Amino acid sequence: MATRLRQIKLGMFLRPAGHHLAAWRHENSQADAGVSFERFVEVAQIAERGLFDMLFSADSATANSVFDEAGLRRMSYVAWIEPFTLLAGLASVTRNIGLVCTASTTYEEPFSLARKFASLDHISHGRAGWNLVTSGNHTAAQNFSRNEHMAKDKRYLRAKEFSDVVLGLWDSWEEDAFIRNRDSGIFFDPRKLHTLNHVGEHFRVMGPLNVARSPQGRPVLVQAGASDDGKQLAAETAEVVFTAAPTIEEGRAFYSDVKERMVAFGRDPDSLKVMPGFFVTTGETSAEAHEKREALQALIHPEVGLALLSQRMGINLSGYDVDGPVPDIHPDNVISSRVTLLSDMARRENMTIRQLYTHIAGGRGHYDVCGTPKDIADVMEEWFITGAADGFNVMPPVFPDSLSDFVNLVVPELQKRGLFRTAYEGKTLRENLGLQRPQNRYVL
Ligand SMILES: Cc1cc2nc3c(=O)[nH]c(=O)nc-3n(C[C@H](O)[C@H](O)[C@H](O)COP(=O)(O)O)c2cc1C
């Protein structure tokens, strides 16, 4: 069998008006994009024209993701269409692109989650993926009859058991379990049905799943969470890792760490694709790209900047002087690896609150790159060939313009270098990502 050339994988990170904080205020975006299915269709189809591997959606089970009302009233992503439902809708207006949605192991139940994603895999003929998160946003707890967000170590223990249950349920039915023989009247072969009977610390799930084995064998398992526990879980179970790496050095360190951890689980490092977020602004010339970027930065209101930073750092910064220093965070209040990342950067570069929020307004802690298609391709190539990434989750600042720029300008440059496909290789997300079809645990 011919071995496939290693090429860059691309995710297109969905967001209503764009990834830049002020995207919805930009003259070419759509202010009500979050409730416009038609706009999401347009964006999905541009990404598919650009041969992206997948559409990717983050998610949060709370509107209240910032502390202060002054900032909240200016946030466009405070409310938008629930992403799983959105992807189910997009499945019918796309043909090749993968559909990956975030869902939380802290606030979902494994049976209903396994059922939904297996169904999406059927509806899309093998293009579904689940991004496993444990949720960083503590206000979600109050939407789920809990007083507090679970502590991180507990969240990850629950996440591990949760994913075990989901993977078990996805093996409920063997590939050929459904005979559907009208003459004999036999619908399925009971020997090919497997009941999980899971009893654990967090879940009691009998099974089997009431959805047939899905076209990909099972949906692709993505994971986002970069702490030690997060990396461990990724190394054991994930097929794609979405990560935030603000520098190539941090990208390489994360990449080699996760891939090395996989060895202990007997996994081939190539069976997991590391895909950092990439916030990309491009134009025909460097000056044009920077102009586009500056136009967006100028639209950030200080209240929004403060609210963003408060949310990212897990402390309420309203009332702080935006031109003063970034306060130190007490280690007990560090709710995620990203908080440490931000406060380290602020200290290292002696940044004020305003400088920090302007800095993260676009990339939000992800790598932020601005330049010509050649500049962008150079950076992507370097990350790809020096062990910092297998692909990228592209974050266009404004929809649809920045995505069209990427597709029209950067994709051809990557193709010219042999770094990116010129046609979809397979029919399923798994095939396009170069991932193996999983064996059913009950079939020897
Ligand atoms: C790159 C990245 C993306 C994430 N996306 C989401 C998300 O969409 N929704 C969510 O609830 N949590 C998200 N998380 C939060 C993680 O699920 C996790 O709960 C939190 O970061 C704490 O774990 P960690 O310290 O291992 O990162 C994300 C984390 C990372 C690192």
Phi then psi dihedrals of residue 385, to 5 deg: -90, -15
Q: How many other C-beta atoms are found inside a 10 Å radius of the C-beta of residue 266?
A: 6
Query: Alpha carbon of 372 to those of 219, 234, 398: distances in Å?
Result: 36, 34, 17
Q: Which two tokens stand for residue 27?
A: 């003259």
10-residue averages of pLDDT along the chain (444 residues): 79 96 94 97 98 97 72 82 98 98 97 98 98 90 92 94 98 97 98 98 98 98 94 97 94 98 97 98 98 92 86 83 85 66 86 88 86 98 98 98 98 98 98 97 91
**Rg of the chain (C-alpha set):** 22
Nearest CA to ligand 1 atom 1: 243
For ligand 1, pick from 15, 134, 261, 279 the residue to mutate: most ligand atoms within 8 Å of CB: 134
List the one residue out of 34, 75, 78 whose CA is nearest residue 60. 78
Counting from 1 in the atom list of ligand 1, the atom nearest the Cα of 102 is 8
- Per-residue pLDDT tens for 379-395? 999 999 999 999 999 99
Nearest CA to ligand 1 atom 10: 135
Q: Which two tokens stand for residue 385?
A: 């060939």
- Please give the distance, rounded to the nearest whole angstrom, from the Cα atom of residue 312 to the centre of ligand 1: 11
* Amino acid identity for residue 141 in this structure: A
Domain range for 90: 9-286+364-433
Nearest CA to ligand 1 atom 23: 225
Counting from 1 in the atom list of ligand 1, the atom nearest the Cα of 132 is 17
Domain annotation covers residue 336: no
Q: Which two tokens stand for residue 357?
A: 């929020």
Indicate the pairing of strand 273-282 with strand 367-371: parallel
Number of domains in the chain: 1
- Alpha helices, DSSP H only, in 96-222? 110-123, 152-170
- Please give the distance, rounded to the nearest whole angstrom, from the Cα atom of residue 134 to the centre of ligand 1: 7
- Please give the distance, rounded to the nearest whole angstrom, from the Cα atom of residue 321 to the centre of ligand 1: 28
Counting from 1 in the atom list of ligand 1, the atom nearest the Cα of 133 is 17
Domain annotation covers residue 2: no
pTM: 0.92
What is the predicted pLDDT for the residue at 361? 78
For tokens 């200290």, name the residue. 347
395 vs 399: CA distance, rounded Å: 10
User: What's the CATH code of the domain at 151?
Assistant: 3.20.20.30
Q: Which two tokens stand for residue 365?
A: 């802690």
What is the predicted pLDDT for the residue at 1? 46
- Please give the distance, rounded to the nearest whole angstrom, from the Cα atom of residue 225 to the centre of ligand 1: 5
Which residues are bridge partners to 131 per DSSP?
A: 102, 222
Domain annotation covers residue 349: no
Nearest CA to ligand 1 atom 20: 136
142 vs 138: CA distance, rounded Å: 8
Counting from 1 in the atom list of ligand 1, the atom nearest the Cα of 59 is 8
Instruction: Please return the burial class of 15, using the count of CB atoms within 10 Å of its CB with bins 0-12, 13-18 and 19+.
Output: buried
Counting from 1 in the atom list of ligand 1, the atom nearest the Cα of 155 is 19
Question: Which residues have any ligand 1 atom within 6 Å of their CB?
Answer: 58-60, 102, 104, 133-137, 152, 224-227, 229-230, 242-244, 336-338
347: enclosing H helix or E strand: helix 337-348
For ligand 1, pick from 59, 336, 341, 394 the residue to mutate: most ligand atoms within 8 Å of CB: 336
327 vs 346: CA distance, rounded Å: 9
List the one residue out of 277, 320, 379 whose CA is nearest residue 10. 277
- Please give the distance, rounded to the nearest whole angstrom, from the Cα atom of residue 28 to the centre of ligand 1: 30
- Please give the distance, rounded to the nearest whole angstrom, from the Cα atom of residue 56 to the centre of ligand 1: 14
Domain annotation covers residue 170: yes
Domain annotation covers residue 206: yes
Q: In angstroms, how far is the first alpha carbon of the chain from the final one?
A: 24
Domain annotation covers residue 117: yes
List the one residue out of 172, 144, 84 whose CA is nearest residue 440. 172
Domain annotation covers residue 318: no
Indicate the pairing of strand 204-205 with strand 198-199: antiparallel
Domain annotation covers residue 410: yes
For ligand 1, pick from 60, 77, 133, 342 the residue to mutate: most ligand atoms within 8 Å of CB: 133
Q: Torsion-angle region of residue 18: left (phi > 0), alpha (psi -120 to 50) or beta? A: left
307 vs 316: CA distance, rounded Å: 8
